[in-house]
Amino acid sequence: MKFWGNGLGKILRCAKPADVALCSRSFGNSCAVCWAASLYHPAILTRTGWCPSGAGPKGAVARQSLGRTKTLISTFRQENNKIPVAVFSIERVLLCAPCGSVANLTVTNVTPTDELFLRRALELARSGIALTSPNPNVGAVIADKAGHSVGAGTYTYDGIQHAEVLAIEEAGERAGGGTLYINLEPCSHHGRTGPCAEAVIAAGIRRVVACMPDPNPMVSGRGFRRLQAAGVEVEVGLFEEEARKLNESFAKYIRHKTPLVTLKAAMTLDGKIAPPPVESHNPTALGAGGVSGGWITSETARAHVQELRHEHDAIVVGVGTIIADDPLLTDRSGHARRRPLLRVILDSRLRLPHGSRVVKTAKDDVLVLCSFAEAKKKQALQSLGIRVEQIPAVLPDGRPDMPGVARRLGEQEITSALIEGGAMVNWAALASGVVDKVFLYYAPKILAGDGSVPFAAGAGFRTMSDAAYLKSFQLHRFGEDFAVEGYLRDPYGN
Ligand code: AOF
Ligand code: ZN
């Protein structure tokens, strides 16, 4: 297996935060490593500009941001037909103390053609979102000896066959001597299907270019080792970050048997999720005509919430949210999904209004988790097509124990759960340590006041050192709103 990342790939400093420099020296004064690299690389970025060797993209200026730099490099490749032996791929930006930002230069022996095919495999994998759970999103492409695409496959749970097998079937004899591009390590075990590594070997494939190892402990490295033992060349690591993100729910679920839990909320800049609550149940509480006086975030941000729901197996709210807002909690992204989004309501005393929209639209996709199951109330809900399950209450006030909720969902093959709870559920989730990541939308509004509803209520963390701390995060813009997507825990961690 070749991990070329450590060849030239030392971590190089940036001139200033968010800048990228692939050589720590300056333009016209490039170091020996860069000079050597420039003999077979199309362009080298130095701290102050492009290295003269590869001419560099016309008009390129120094100190490009990472995204811009990537675009420049790919434009340069498109404009120049020379296919380099090796190319740079800038896959990571790490934070470092002295300069605030560094670029991790990875040099691989993959070609632009490899990148093209692997990108296609990733796209195919992405097209399986919501059709593969509880299994991973996998896409595969096979190129023949001449570098022509001869087969492709996307995994879907109902289709049973793994992506690489579908691609091999389509390629037939043309797979012989070819290359398999795939976002995940081919499997090595007998599950619902036989081991894909064996199918790859039997098809005569000579080379496998994959983004990442399979986080499934039953596979993890064994697939690659089997391929290598049979003489197949294996390259791993291109687009790894993207690939890991695509299968983060699978990674969490397959190793912990609990879903990846994301806490989602939409709030004002001062962290309020609603104006002061109104006492009575109001079925049109949300939206312009409702008691809350309109939505917090814009239509664009709310459309994105539908995409987020689409990527999840379950949505979790407290019954208070149903009483206050009467939401539908469905996936209205318009994309196909294998299983309906499971609408989970935490309702310790079964207060769920029978007239709520969730109850009226239930189709074996509403699960109520309670702590005190009164037989009569339970039967009444069940007769309306709602699943009611009891989980042991551990909190003194009888609210559901969040790790218990996560375990119960894991037992039902739920790999990802989106908490769209109210202030109490948000706090219960944060306090219990069950949250893996957050997706927090902010509108440029300030609600202020003591009575308005905070993002998370309850006791809160008592000191700054106890505060929930995002380990890595990304910012997204949605029109005038923005969102912070960040991790409290690594989904691939232990
Ligand atoms: C998939 N699709 O394309 C690949 C997978 O029960 P099985 O036989 O379907 O095996 C599922 C496991 O196979 C899964 O957990 C993952 O580790 C591995 N690879 N799975 O569902 C695919 N390549
Ligand atoms: Zn497989």
Closest ligand 1 atom number to CA of residue 153? 3
Cβ-proximal residues to 489 (8 Å cutoff; 6+ apart), any chain: 435, 436, 437, 471
Residue 275: is its pLDDT beyond 50? yes
User: What pLDDT score does 409 carry?
Assistant: 98
Q: Ligand 1 test: best mutation among 162, 219, 226, 415, most atoms within 8 Å of CB? A: 162
Q: Alpha carbon of 20 to those of 69, 79, 476: distances in Å?
A: 8, 22, 21
pLDDT band of 279, cuts 50, 70, 90: low
User: Counting Cβ atoms within 10 Å, is residue 247 exposed (0-12), middle (13-18) or buried (19+)?
Assistant: buried
pLDDT tens profile 138-155: 999 999 999 999 999 999
The CA 337 to ligand 2 mean position distance, Å, reads: 22
Neighbour order of strands in the sheet with 139-143: 149-154, 139-143, 179-184, 207-212, 233-236
pLDDT value of position 394: 64
Q: How confident is the model at residue 392, as a pLDDT?
A: 79
112-116, 342-346, 467-471, range with the lowest pLDDT: 112-116
Rounded Cα gap, residues 346 and 371, in angstroms: 9
Q: Which amino acid residue places its CA nearest to atom 17 of ligand 1?
A: 216
**pLDDT: is 83 or 286 the higher one?**
286
What pLDDT shows up at residue 110?
Answer: 59
Closest C-alpha to ligand 1, atom 13: 187
- The chain-wide mean pLDDT, for the chain, equals 80
Mean per-residue pLDDT for 82-103? Answer: 33
Q: Using the mean position of ligand 2's atoms as its centre, give its distance from the Cα of residue 184 in Å.
A: 9
Across 178-324, the runs of DSSP E, i.e. the strands, are 179-184, 207-212, 233-236, 260-268, 272-274, 314-318
Rounded Cα distance, 48 and 61, in Å = 8
87 pLDDT band, cuts 50/70/90, is: very low
Which whole number is the average pLDDT over 359-378?
92
pTM of the model as a whole: 0.79
**Residue 306 DSSP label:** H
d(CA 236, CA 87): 15
Question: With 80 as the cut, is the pLDDT of residue 395 above it?
Answer: no
Q: How far is the CA of 162 from the centre of ligand 1 (A)?
A: 6
Q: What is the mean pLDDT of residues 436-461?
A: 96
Q: Name the token pair of 141.
A: 């492409």
Q: What is the mean pLDDT of residues 117-129?
A: 96
Q: Which of the ligands is closest to the CA of residue 251?
A: 1
**pLDDT category of residue 81 using cuts at 50, 70 and 90:** very low
**Any atom of ligand 1 within 6 Å of the Cβ of 194:** no
* pLDDT score at 280: 44
Pick the atom of ligand 1 nearest to 216's CA.
Answer: 17
The answer, yes or no, to whether any atom of ligand 1 lies below 6 A from the CB of 136, is yes
pLDDT greater than 50 at residue 418: yes
Active site residue 164: yes
Tell me which of 115, 164, 311, 420 is the catalytic residue. Answer: 164
pLDDT exceeds cutoff 50 at 424: yes
pLDDT, greater one: 28 or 148 = 148
Higher pLDDT, 419 or 51: 419
d(CA 108, CA 3) in angstroms, rounded, equals 7
pLDDT at residue 17 greater than cutoff 80: no
- Probe target for ligand 1 pocket from 187, 212, 218, 249, with the most ligand atoms within 8 Å of CB: 187
* pLDDT: which is higher, 424 or 400: 424
